[in-house]
Amino acid sequence: MSEARLINRALKAVLNKYTGEDPHRPAWHLSPQTGLMNDPNGFIQFQGEWHLFYQWNPVACAHGAKYWGHWRSTNLLDWRHEPLALVPSEEYESHGCYSGSAIDHDGRLTLLYTGNVKFEHGRTAWQCLATVDKNGEVTKQGPVISLPPGYTGHVRDPKIWRHKDHWYLVLGAQNLAEQGKVLLYRGNSLQEWTLLGEIAGAHLNGLDDFGYMWECPDLFALGDREVLIVCPQGLAAQERKWLNTYQSGYFIGKLDYESATFPHGEFQELDHGFEFYAPQTTLADDGRRIMFGWMGLPDANEFFQPTIAQGWIHTMTCPRELTLEQGKVMQRPARELQQLREQHKHYQNRADALPTLCVESAELNIRSLGNWEVCFGETLTLACDEQGIRLTRRNLRSGEPEQRYWLGKVSQLQILCDRSSIEIFINDGEGVMSARYFPQAKPVAVWQGEASLSLDYWQLRLCMVV
């Protein structure tokens, strides 16, 4: 379809945006104006400003031929809309401008993304370049990598970085035996790329079967190691772990750029909640590694979420700072988020003697030992005991209770609430549980249990995307 027609369709959807009451619309998380948003893309701090692009179907609450939307921010908190970045108008991207990443190339903001093409039987994928000018206008440069032999059409989601004198990128891939893999490429320029090989995947580095497709790889140095984040599809659920439709986790290892090998440790989940997928990191100017994730998951119960009645679906997570500590990737809310805090209150009491608190847009910082429970908006329950944390809600499709777990000794929790979402940071970043939930009324937290809690509470201010 022509570019003009695609842009017109998006514009029509945005002009007709729902303007009635919308209790689940986040106060400070990023969400789409209309339609469906999924992966964070092209996350970068460029010439001092933050840019976050995103997978977007502006015209329907459905997956399909994705566009790239674009937000820009000076403080990582207040974002504004930039022009539509990519629309799937060319033959090499006819079924979507799929996920990708951004770099600063000689002072020019440059994007690398997947052109997804479907045929009647089968599909192919192109890795494509585009440049962004200072007004946010994007110029496509076309494909620079075609489908490598030995793989199905599922090869996508380039994450690019510079190391010494070369560009490198990783791609998520499926080989012809339907095994998920990560491919490493080296570029002499952004146009000329060489496939160095598979650096991770099913049947590599000591793994057995490990999924039929790996999506959204991200490889970066953290401390004195490299971390490979990846989203394997097709792992069977285990007792109390890997319970979501697809997983999102990481391997810690050491990348040898010469031999293109990445010996690594075991797969660890990044988030133990109900909704988390396809995260992407960037290196901030001050050296921090910052990550956004999609607080959603494909192919589960997403189309039962009630915001569809208001014409939109899904949100991003908050930005998180990553560090490597004792063989674990720790996640903490980006320190900028502390600027959202207003009206502090402190409580020290038995859980069941704590007051009911408004958690429409709030942060709770809890120190505790013992058994206690808190219920958010009569919809989502967090139970804490000596085994760890159990999060319970009703499945939106079946109405049956469903659970997620974090196992370990809990001493501290930092909980970020935003109308229809919750992010629970455990033991100063040792674990995270993210979830969407849809209370009928304004959500309040109601406490139970005899454990003694020390609780700091703040309301969080609104961040309007203008």
DSSP output for 314-360: --B---EEEEEETTEEEEEE-GGGGGGEEEEEEEEEEGGGSPPEE-S
Task: Judge whether 98 and 117 are in contact, CB under 8 Å.
Answer: no
Closer CB to ligand FRU, 278 or 417, in the complex = 278
Nearest in space to 260 (alpha carbons), one of 192, 166, 324, 341: 166
Among 82, 215, 321, 360, binds ligand FRU (CB under 6 A): 215
3-state secondary structure of 41: strand
State in angstroms the smallest separation of the CB of 216 from ligand FRU.
Answer: 6
Which position has the token pair 């598979």? Answer: 198
Closer CB to ligand FRU, 250 or 447, in the complex = 250
Q: For residue 236, what is the DSSP state?
A: P
State in angstroms the smallest separation of the CB of 117 from ligand FRU.
Answer: 13
Q: Is 159 in the site for ligand FRU (CB under 6 A)?
A: no
Q: Is 434 in the site for ligand FRU (CB under 6 A)?
A: no
E strand or H helix that includes residue 11: helix 3-15
Q: What are phi and psi of 427, to 5 degrees?
A: 50, 55
Q: How far is Cα 277 from Cα 301, in angstroms, rounded to an integer?
A: 14
Q: How far is Cα 173 from Cα 135, in angstroms, rounded to an integer?
A: 34
Q: Is 39 in the site for ligand FRU (CB under 6 A)?
A: yes
Q: What are phi and psi of 384, to 5 degrees?
A: -120, 125
> 126 forms bridges with which residues in the sheet?
115
Closer CB to ligand FRU, 315 or 414, in the complex = 315
Closer CB to ligand FRU, 227 or 278, in the complex = 278
State in angstroms the smallest separation of the CB of 156 from ligand FRU.
Answer: 5
x/- letters, 263..292, toward ligand FRU (CB under 6 A)? --------------xx--------------
Closer CB to ligand FRU, 61 or 445, in the complex = 61
Is 157 annotated as catalytic? no
Q: For residue 148, what is the DSSP state?
A: P
Among 157, 198, 321, 423, binds ligand FRU (CB under 6 A): 157
Among 45, 101, 110, 114, binds ligand FRU (CB under 6 A): 114
Give me the sign of the Cα torsion angle 306, 28, 53, 276.
negative
State in angstroms the smallest separation of the CB of 79 from ligand FRU.
Answer: 20
Q: Is 455 in the site for ligand FRU (CB under 6 A)?
A: no
> What is the chain's length?
466
State in angstroms the smallest separation of the CB of 370 from ligand FRU.
Answer: 39
Task: Judge whether 425 and 413 are in contact, CB under 8 Å.
Answer: yes
Among 156, 159, 272, 314, binds ligand FRU (CB under 6 A): 156
Q: How far is Cα 155 from Cα 122, in angstroms, rounded to an integer?
A: 13
State in angstroms the smallest separation of the CB of 114 from ligand FRU.
Answer: 6
x/- letters, 43..72, toward ligand FRU (CB under 6 A)? ------------x----------x------
Among 10, 30, 32, 38, binds ligand FRU (CB under 6 A): 38
Task: Judge whether 7 and 85 are in contact, CB under 8 Å.
Answer: no
State in angstroms the smallest separation of the CB of 246 from ligand FRU.
Answer: 8
Q: Is 99 in the site for ligand FRU (CB under 6 A)?
A: yes
# residues contacting ligand FRU (CB under 6 A): 14
Among 136, 197, 298, 388, binds ligand FRU (CB under 6 A): 298
Q: Which residues contact 177 (CB under 8 A, 6 or more apart)?
A: none
Closer CB to ligand FRU, 279 or 311, in the complex = 279
Residue type, 382: L
Closer CB to ligand FRU, 114 or 281, in the complex = 114
CA distances from 168 to 164, 165, 260, 464 (A): 10, 10, 11, 36
Residues within the interface to ligand FRU (CB under 6 A): 38-39, 55, 66, 98-99, 114, 156-157, 215-216, 277-278, 298
Would you name the residues annotated as active-site residues? Answer: 39
